[in-house]
Amino acid sequence: MSLVGKKAPNFSTAAVLDGEEIVENFSLEQYIGHKDVVFFFYPKDFTFVCPTEILAFQEKLEEFEKRGVAVVGASCDTEESHLAWLATPKAHGGIEGVTYPLVADAAKTIAHNYGVLAGEWNYNDAGELTFEGAPVAYRGTFLIDKNGVVRQETINDLPLGRNIDEMIRLVDALHHVEQFGEVCPANWEEGKEAMSATKEGVSAYLAKN
């Protein structure tokens, strides 16, 4: 079920900060009241599509930060695995240089609560607990506002990488709605015309476009 319009599931877990420091009780609650959050899941450390996305978020980190948005990544790996990958140079398939938090979800409970776990637990005919599917997270991305409410979510299958610029566009759209009370039509970008959420507003926008 979609989390849009609902409070983002809370958690407290280990994470790696600034590419080098492990903390034991990381939570998104620290951002409530003063920052929006782009919280994204990726399938696994030391893989192939994942480093391209993680590094792409890092390349755009300044764009998010100047908009008052925190970027936080997560996977079902341990904090030690995150740390080792963060210490690995890009030339060797690593993500050295990433400074935003990477959350460890080894228990897979966070991915489950956000609806992005690529499988589920079940019991076989012998009554044994098994896992059906892939024990990793889909490429889920969640835009969470300052009140802790999910305003947008996108979930990609494992081989489908994200467009980071689209997340920046969605942040801009959210901020425009909050500031001006207008709605953002298809393909809206910062600097383009939005419209009022009325029949007259839609008619005027369509007549000009």
| Residues annotated catalytic, as ranges | 50
Which residues contact residue 27 at a Cβ distance below 8 angstroms, ignoring those fewer than 6 apart?
A: 10, 11, 12, 13
The answer to whether residues 13 and 104 touch, using CB atoms and an 8 Å cutoff, is: yes
End-to-end CA distance of the chain: 35
Question: CA distances (Å), 92 to each of 45, 86, 95, in order?
Answer: 13, 11, 9
Which residues contact residue 23 at a Cβ distance below 8 angstroms, ignoring those fewer than 6 apart?
A: 14, 15, 16, 17
